[in-house]
Chains A and B, each alone.
Chain A
Amino acid sequence: MRPDASKKIAKVTPKGGPNPVVIGAIVAAVVVVAVVVAILIGNSGKSGSSTGASGSSAPVGVVGGTGGGILVNKATAKGNAPTLDLYEDFQCPTCGELEKAMGSRLASMAKAGQVKLVVHVLSFLDANLKNDSSSRAANAAACAADAGKFLEYHSAVFAGQPAQEGAGYTDAQLTQFAKTAGITGTALTTWQKCASSGQHAQYVTDVQTGAEKAGVFGTPTVKLNGKDITKTLTTGDALVAQVKAATK
């Protein structure tokens, strides 16, 4: 092996050539600055928590503290019903398929109080698809929760999911979903204001953070009493059977 000449080179500046120490220092400085800038830019996307920022409080029905999901059926859930956590992104096609396959079954179980249905609406697909439709739709759904129509809005969004992943949702579509969900009159006016102002934007960010902290990095994810049962949900009957088994 050839002897390493780097030490010798570092000591003497070659005649007429660039100084390695100077170039090295420049490269190192560029790396440090670029890394700091990258971290600052990355962090600027998220800040604070639900509490504090004016006008961006958590919506009605949130359980489990900051960044928790929305308990859909607080009024009807029976005391001994197991908790079913549903993690979805409104732009996730597989979530749309899950909704199609067992959405109505889930809704009826929730209405009958057989499960405590907690829905966590995620928004990570915005970064992948380079749009903001997941966040806007999630905010709009949180506004619908304020109106007591979360599950109805949730179904309307998935029913109107674009055939092509990434096409996203227009504001007009989001409003149409509210009407489909049965939000009318003054409630619709309130919903509209909430949706267009991004009133629950911070909550939406917090839910995404909360899900990642809970180890959820994909959608749909379904947890029954905290246990991930997503893979077992091949049929609606499988879901019903598991819920029954988990009921004390």
Chain B
Amino acid sequence: MQFIKYTVAGTLFGFVLTKAEVISWFRIQEMFRFQDFHMYGIIGSAVLVGLVSIQIIKWFGLKDIDGRPITILPKDTTHMKQYIIGGTLFGFGWALTGACPGPLFALLGSGITVILIPILSAIAGTYTYGALMERLPH
């Protein structure tokens, strides 16, 4: 029950994704063809709001609702190749499915049952990465 608050937050997030049409395969195509500002406006304004929020949290040293200080771990900068290789591979998948992980789950909720296939394939992809990771360049 202690995790219900995250489900509420997720519901809000999933609802916004559908109303923003971010979960639309067509919108992702429009973005990768540079034919509309919509997706760039969403990502850009989301980053701007996130950036300002994080600065406020850091500046005032805000705590979470349980009173613990908020800490945001920096990303690992010792192995940089993984970001361009993994990022590009994800980009292939993003353009093919027209959905990143959040939208995949929201699309499933909207009633498109065949989205279970890319979700199960993504789990298989993650499993394969876990099995092969020691042999991959990072």
Partners in one complex: no
